Amino acid sequence: MRSSSSPSAGTAPSAPDHVAGPTAVMRGLRATGHVFRVPLDHAEPGSPLIEVFAREYSSLEHDDDAVARLPWLLFLQGGPGGRGVRATQLSGWMKAAAREFRILMLDQRGTGLSTPADAATLGRLPDPADQADYLAHFRADSIVADAELIRDRLGSGPWTVFGQSYGGFCTLTYLSLAPEGIERALITGGLAPLSGPPDDVYRATFARVEARNREYFSWYPGDRDIVTRIARHLDRVEEHLPAGERLTARRFQMIGAFLGGNTRIHALHYLLEDAFVDLAGEPRLSATFLEQVQGLVSRAAQPLYAVMHESIYCQGFASGWAAERVLTQYPQFLPTAEEPLLTGEMVYPWYFEEDPALRPLQPVAELLARREDWGPLYDTDVLATNVVPVAAAVYRHDIYVDRELSLRTAAAIRNLEVWETDEFHHDGISDDGEAIFDRLLGMTRR
């Protein structure tokens, strides 16, 4: 691998390694931003520096002296490519956590207020090969190395780590590479497969998403015809999203992102009921519908999600566009199917043709899909002898992180206790985060 330089400015050698910003007081909370300078490549002395932003949240129920004595909790967000939560009040799991922790909400490298990794900044590098080498340092192993450096600079002992979805994947990497930095780990919807190709993941995912489609259409049978009608309409009639690009049937299918929600799934029905308007006797998609779809099918706000998505499963092998490969086994998801199903979080190479935000990243995405020299993300020997208390919520009907694969991973990790439930779906902490957090925290204290 050739050396990669950082495409972003603002990391002069004289700048301090940690800067705490002013504290803002909101409804029941105080929030303080922190900026940390970290190496792009933690294993390479003299590596270029990038910035990682994190925001500290604490409850106003604790005075400043009490807050200074509270232990830290690091929250690792879902993704990849997802920035930390921007909280304006303490609710849900954060309300529960703030009773006894200082919460550190990480903008994982490349996201939020951290040094950005997007089409504009990556375009400063000489060519797509340099961009691919740069992005090779944006996976869970580098996120964990950032967290350990940040923990040291904050003067924290081992801290509690809470990982949601991809944040759970990162937590397993943390337990593999630096378990001494964790006092306890809480994971929701995020027990990653420890080995094997991503094809295994997508075979399970397609099956789960199909079952969720069937469940949804059993509740709203009329929506089955509407989805098919929209797909066939888009084959015949050019409809354009507010950003200007044509909406295709296969891109429309991405609204299946709603299916992963516990209550959010029902918002899909409200979206579909606004689909058509009559213009001089001709059915067209409504401006209201197209505006909402734009927000669901664009990766403009989260380009790393598409670029890095399949690499999060790779250890010593290339993904080779696994979701597209497995799709051939599930023709019911093809837009040309008689009754096409809505899709989940799978990423396909055509994303980089149809989404204007992703088109400049098509060459680097192709290189990453073919890349074979991905390093290990998990140490199964370390996990098999783990002494850190771990509590994990496994959602029985999760369409993104499969139950069977999750339980297989759980069985390979010592000192991990599973709470399996069918009460929630993948975004359970958005529905009753306070109860879920309290339950998992209690499990680590038995």
Q: Which of 152, 235, 373, 422 is catalytic?
A: 373
Residue 438: beta bridge partners?
none
Query: Is the alpha carbon torsion for 159, 163, 166, 168 positive or negative?
Result: positive
| Nearest-10 crossing angle of helices 128-135, 362-370 | 60
Determine which helix (DSSP H) or strand (DSSP E) holds 124, and give its type and residue range: none
CB atoms within 10 A of CB 381: 8
Question: Could you give phi then psi for residue 416, rounded to 5 degrees?
Answer: -110, 125
Q: Is 373 a catalytic residue?
A: yes
d(CA 56, CA 105): 6
Catalytic residue among 4, 165, 176, 311: 165
Query: Known catalytic residue: 426?
Result: yes
Amino acid at residue number 156:
S
> Cβ of 178: how many Cβ atoms within 10 Å?
17
Contact present, 426 and 395 (Cβ < 8 Å) = yes
**d(Cα 50, Cα 52) in Å, to the nearest integer?**
7
Instruction: Output DSSP code: residue 310.
Output: G
User: Which two structure tokens, joined as six digits, stand for 200?
Assistant: 């295994």
Instruction: Name residues whose C-beta falls within 8 Å of residue 222's C-beta, 6 or more positions apart in sequence.
Output: none
Q: Give the residue numbers annotated as catalytic, written as ranges.
A: 165, 373, 426
